[in-house]
């Protein structure tokens, strides 16, 4: 593809992606930007907003403490400032223009996800073009836009880092698909791979898959892939070094963290990137496929030995050392952490919504392999799709990536049938094209799954004896709490981030694996007797107790300890050291701690 032609397609793909993103923004505006006042229980989006506010209020760039959550003094979050920075920049810019910080926050919560949706759609279109030709671009925009919109990670208020990670991973893939024909594409691909790893460790499987693919393609075709391997390695190592310097304070350079970018990830990324670039650049190491394979295998052994010797703790499962009570009462109930097999048993209708289009795409790739003519593009797309599907089978959160990667082969499939329909007047071809469209659009499967589960959900609500909306997710629900003088609030972990976002209070509990001590303290208070709770309240100077009967976590804890403090409050048994605040029957019931004497 020539430079002029590439420039023209680049502009058209960018314009199509912009139109789709603006359409999604218009739909959100028509519905009133609902997530800004009803976060839907997404603690991460709210806590990210709190983190950005803290940064703008003067908290240090390197200081990732969340001082208002956990025991006195707070705890250190594992998130990256790389996501805080652009959100904070938008708020600063809009505040300077309008003089209103609340308006600036609202604009940032709308604009940032919209920009990410635009860029993700653009890179999806570029990947589809490189994989299936120009005819795959429009289908990629349509089914990609629909899928991304209904997955929900680009909706207003989506400040969590998963949308950033998906955009960067898709960018890395798209650039690699273009790499042999486009100068510096591989270097930029390595840059994006390093950035997505720096944002969060959830993308380790995808970054590893990309790195392995680049290496094996170099083994198979040195002439065509040498420059790609060299440039990708240099970009990956170089940006990892920059991120390490920019986001970690010098005093912590020697501190290894397994759940966040630290010396562990930097050392592995630097050695892997520089090693790959060196093997691709040194003629004796790249002279034959056997030497290339042996050199890369040696590099892999070195990396494995470094991790095993220097950072053995990072070889354990992510939550291997989590307190058993937190695993039972928190982790096992996190929706996005459920496995495919758990969903098959407990929520089979949702399986179609999250796994159908990736499975169709995998079948398409298998058929392509069987027919022969396998290309480098097929290897890259198939590897990421397969890895994402396996991650999604382990935890449903991985299906966000598999749904995205599935768009690429699905759009090529649609393009093929569109081309056939244009040259044929057969009704059979038209019907097949319509069927191909339908099975490729993820929201179609979502709708089918939702329809199938309606009767079940209604029956469950009746059986539970509670059909009222008391889930405590709306901003207005917290207004009474926000009007009270700042104090420490004892509440469940699901309400931790909303309390911080909508008031100046502090809390013990929040659904974060590093907040072990705070979460355990809240469990001790709610599962123990009223006397146990009183001792904790007095020892930690708690001023308010907030409970929500409609929240699933409240129900879980009440069932775990039916004679405990929380279960008693939900039954209306209020100890004499508490006094109700406000009207009864509100989603959140507040109790003020009576002062001794």
Task: State the total domains in the chain.
Answer: 2
- Same domain as 539, residue 482: yes
- pLDDT given at position 445: 86
Q: Which residues of the chain have pLDDT under 50?
A: 2-4, 459-469
Cα–Cα dist 308/304, whole Å? 6
Of 548, 568, 574, 572, nearest to 495 by C-alpha is 548
pTM here?
0.93
- pLDDT given at position 238: 97
CATH number at residue 524: 3.40.50.12610
Contacts within 8 Å (CB) and 24+ apart, 6-11 = 6/182, 9/129, 9/134, 10/126
**Which of 423, 440, 467 marks a domain boundary?**
467
**Which of 423, 443, 467 marks a domain boundary?**
467
3-state secondary structure of 511: coil
Strand 578-581 and strand 589-593: the pairing is: antiparallel
Of 401, 338, 405, nearest to 177 by C-alpha is 405
Angle CA(476)–CA(116)–CA(101) in degrees, nearest 5?
40
**Structural domain includes residue 567:** yes
Give Cα separations from 254 to 79, 244, 563 (angstroms).
18, 11, 47
511 and 493 Cβ atoms separated by less than 8 Å = yes
**Structural domain includes residue 354:** yes
Cα–Cα dist 563/551, whole Å? 18
- Same domain as 515, residue 557: yes
Cα–Cα dist 496/583, whole Å? 22
- 219's tokens: 């083994």
Cα–Cα dist 137/17, whole Å? 10
- pLDDT given at position 473: 81
DSSP string, 513-535: TT-HHHHHHHHHHHHS-HHHHHH
264 and 257 Cβ atoms separated by less than 8 Å = yes
Give residue 100's region: left, alpha or beta (phi > 0; psi -120 to 50): beta
Cα–Cα dist 560/563, whole Å? 9
**Structural domain includes residue 180:** no
Of 53, 118, 117, 58, nearest to 84 by C-alpha is 53
- pLDDT given at position 583: 75
The set of residues, in sequence order, having a beta carbon less than 8 Å from that of 12 and lying 6+ positions away, is 137
**Structural domain includes residue 326:** no
- Same domain as 563, residue 487: yes
- Same domain as 450, residue 341: yes
Of 152, 139, 179, nearest to 6 by C-alpha is 179
Cα dihedral value 562, 568, 573, 579, nearest 10: 170
**Torsion 349-351-354-359 (CA) sign:** negative
Contacts within 8 Å (CB) and 24+ apart, 378-382 = 378/131, 379/213, 379/216, 379/217, 380/173, 380/176, 380/177, 380/210, 380/213, 380/217, 381/127, 381/131, 381/173, 381/177, 381/405, 381/408, 381/409
- pLDDT given at position 7: 58
- Same domain as 495, residue 444: no
- Same domain as 569, residue 451: no
Of 16, 1, 265, 271, nearest to 123 by C-alpha is 16
- Same domain as 447, residue 416: yes
- Same domain as 422, residue 359: yes
**Structural domain includes residue 143:** no
**Structural domain includes residue 498:** yes
> What tens digit of pLDDT does each residue of 492-539 get?
999 999 999 999 999 999 999 999 999 999 999 999 999 999 999 999
- pLDDT given at position 453: 66
**Structural domain includes residue 185:** no
- Same domain as 463, residue 390: yes
> What tens digit of pLDDT does each residue of 390-444 get?
999 998 888 999 999 999 999 999 999 999 888 877 888 889 999 999 999 988 9
- Same domain as 406, residue 451: yes
Where do the H-state alpha helices sit in 152-184?
162-178
**Structural domain includes residue 200:** no
- Same domain as 438, residue 415: yes
- pLDDT given at position 461: 42
- pLDDT given at position 464: 41
- 16's tokens: 């199509």
Q: What's the domain range around 374?
A: 337-467
**Which of 467, 494, 524 marks a domain boundary?**
467
Helices 427-440/399-422 angle, 10° precision:
170
- Same domain as 567, residue 461: no
525 and 493 Cβ atoms separated by less than 8 Å = no
């Amino acid at each position: 593809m020539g430079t002029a032609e590439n420039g023209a397609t680049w502009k058209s793909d960018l314009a199509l992606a912009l139109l789709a993103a603006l359409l999604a923004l218009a739909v959100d505006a028509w519905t009133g930007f609902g997530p800004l006042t009803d976060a839907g229980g997404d603690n991460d989006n709210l806590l990210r907003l709190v983190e950005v506010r803290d940064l703008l209020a003067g908290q240090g760039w390197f200081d990732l403490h969340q001082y208002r959550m956990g025991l006195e003094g707070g705890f250190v979050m594992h998130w990256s400032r790389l996501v805080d920075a652009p959100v904070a920049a938008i708020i600063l810019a809009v505040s300077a223009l309008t003089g209103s910080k609340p308006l600036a926050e609202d604009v940032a919560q709308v604009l940032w996800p919209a920009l990410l949706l635009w860029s993700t759609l653009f890179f999806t279109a570029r990947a589809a073009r490189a994989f299936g030709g120009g005819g795959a671009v429009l289908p990629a925009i349509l089914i990609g836009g629909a899928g991304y919109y209904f997955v929900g990670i680009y909706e207003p208020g989506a400040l969590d880092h998963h949308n950033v990670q998906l955009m960067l991973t898709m960018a890395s893939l798209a650039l690699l698909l273009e790499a042999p024909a486009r100068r510096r594409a591989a270097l930029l691909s390595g840059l994006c791979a390093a950035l997505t790893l720096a944002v969060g460790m959830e993308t380790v499987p995808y970054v590893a898959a990309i790195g392995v693919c680049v290496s094996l393609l170099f083994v198979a075709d040195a002439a065509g892939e040498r420059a790609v391997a060299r440039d990708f390695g240099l970009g990956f190592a170089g940006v990892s070094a920059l991120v390490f310097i920019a986001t970690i304070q010098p005093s912590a350079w020697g501190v290894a963290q397994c759940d966040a970018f630290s010396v562990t990830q930097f050392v592995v990324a630097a050695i892997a990137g520089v090693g790959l670039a060196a093997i691709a650049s040194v003629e004796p190491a790249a002279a034959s496929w056997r030497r290339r394979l042996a050199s890369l295998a040696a590099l892999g052994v070195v990396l494995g030995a470094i991790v095993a010797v220097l950072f053995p703790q990072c070889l354990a499962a992510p939550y291997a050392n989590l307190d058993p009570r937190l695993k039972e009462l928190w982790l096992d109930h996190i929706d996005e952490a459920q496995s495919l097999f758990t969903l098959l048993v407990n929520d089979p209708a949702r399986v179609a919504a999250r796994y159908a289009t990736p499975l169709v795409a995998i079948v398409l790739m298998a058929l392509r392999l069987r027919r022969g003519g396998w290309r480098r593009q097929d290897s890259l797309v198939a590897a990421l799709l397969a890895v994402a599907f396996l991650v999604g089978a382990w935890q449903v959160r991985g299906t966000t990536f598999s749904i995205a990667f599935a768009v690429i082969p699905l759009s090529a499939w649609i393009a093929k049938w569109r081309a056939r329909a244009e040259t044929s007047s057969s009704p059979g071809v038209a019907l097949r094209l319509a069927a191909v469209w339908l099975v490729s659009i993820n929201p179609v499967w979502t709708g089918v799954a939702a329809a199938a589960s309606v009767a079940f959900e209604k029956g469950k609500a009746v059986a539970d004896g509670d059909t009222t909306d008391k889930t405590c997710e709306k901003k207005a629900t917290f207004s009474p709490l926000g009007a009270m003088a700042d104090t420490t609030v004892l509440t469940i972990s699901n309400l931790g981030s909303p309390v911080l976002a909508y008031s100046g209070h502090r809390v013990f509990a929040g659904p974060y694996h590093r907040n072990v001590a705070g979460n355990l303290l809240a469990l001790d208070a709610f599962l123990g007797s009223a006397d146990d709770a009183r001792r904790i309240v007095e020892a930690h100077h708690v001023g308010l107790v907030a409970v929500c009967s409609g929240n699933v976590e409240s129900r879980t804890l009440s069932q775990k300890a039916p004679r405990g403090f929380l279960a008693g409050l939900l039954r209306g048994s209020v100890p004499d050291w508490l006094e109700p605040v406000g009207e009864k029957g509100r989603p959140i019931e507040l109790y003020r701690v009576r002062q001794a004497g």
